[in-house]
């Protein structure tokens, strides 16, 4: 959230991923080294190409009909973390853009960063989309890989940030108003994620609720 507009209480727009999350392709080298496959990434572009991809990704995220990048639990956690950071400061000294970036960077753990890049990379490879949409998703994937905070700032700064929905089953557990939803609503959502073997997302939901309750 740069010095633009605050995020709304409830992000009203949502986007489906368009494809289920798929595991990254296994490589013998990764398996031999760590015993587990690593996320597949597209060929590394030149530095100038990355900068152009970042600019295109920012335009896509700030333009009409932006794609969903963050899941709702990820978006709410970042917004709640940023608001908690701002509340902890003196009203006479508003945070600088650099301080806002640092606060968002601190809120992004390694699991969140990896989940988003894997999801974006898989979406860019989805065979049902056209070349233009594939190029747009690839731009956003590389923009996130290069500077996830910049992408998060572009998303949160929007008046109505777009979020993606993993599936309709999870959507049925979303709190109608995240700001005023009772703890029980968040607990039901977290338990659903735990049953679906997504402990990191479940823990993020519970942390978000605790932070909002302060």
Based on the structure, what is the number of domains in the chain? 2
Q: pTM of the prediction?
A: 0.76
Same domain, 87 and 150: yes
Asked whether residue 17 is domain-assigned, the answer is: yes
Distances in Å between the Cα of 59 and the Cα atoms of 54, 109, 117, 126, 204 are: 9, 26, 19, 22, 29
> DSSP alpha helices (H): ranges in the chain?
28-34, 47-62, 72-87, 97-107, 110-124, 131-146, 148-156, 168-171, 183-195, 199-213
Looking at the DSSP bridge assignments, the partners of residue 131 are none
For residue 36, the model assigns a pLDDT of 47
Same domain, 184 and 154: no
Decide if pLDDT at 96 tops 70.
yes
- Extract the tokens encoding 141: 């994937």
Residue 171, Cα to own-chain centre: how many angstroms? 16
Same domain, 156 and 191: no
Same domain, 110 and 193: no
Residue span of the structural domain in which 209 resides? 179-214
Asked whether residue 39 is domain-assigned, the answer is: yes
Question: What is the tens place of the pLDDT at every residue in 11-67?
Answer: 445 554 444 343 333 444 444 444 544 545 555 567 788 889 999 999 999 888 888
Asked whether residue 7 is domain-assigned, the answer is: no
């Amino acid at each position: 959230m740069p010095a633009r507009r605050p995020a709304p209480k409830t992000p009203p727009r949502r986007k489906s991923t368009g494809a289920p999350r798929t595991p990254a392709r296994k490589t013998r080298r990764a398996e031999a080294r760590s015993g587990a496959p690593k996320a597949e990434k597209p060929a590394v572009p030149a530095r100038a190409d990355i900068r152009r991809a970042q600019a295109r990704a920012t335009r896509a995220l700030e333009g009409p009909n932006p794609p969903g990048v963050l899941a709702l639990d990820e978006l709410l956690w970042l917004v709640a973390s940023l608001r908690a950071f701002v509340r902890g400061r003196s009203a006479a000294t508003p945070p600088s853009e650099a301080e806002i970036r640092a606060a968002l960077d601190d809120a992004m753990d390694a699991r969140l960063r990896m989940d988003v890049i894997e999801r974006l990379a898989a979406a860019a490879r989805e065979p049902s989309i056209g070349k233009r949409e594939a190029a747009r998703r690839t731009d956003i994937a590389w923009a996130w890989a290069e500077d996830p905070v910049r992408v998060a700032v572009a998303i949160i700064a929007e008046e109505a940030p777009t979020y993606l929905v993993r599936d309709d089953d999870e959507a049925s557990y979303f709190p109608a108003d995240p700001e005023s939803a009772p703890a029980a609503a968040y607990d039901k959502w977290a338990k659903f994620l735990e049953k679906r073997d997504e402990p990191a997302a479940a823990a993020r939901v519970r942390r978000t609720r605790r932070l909002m309750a302060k």
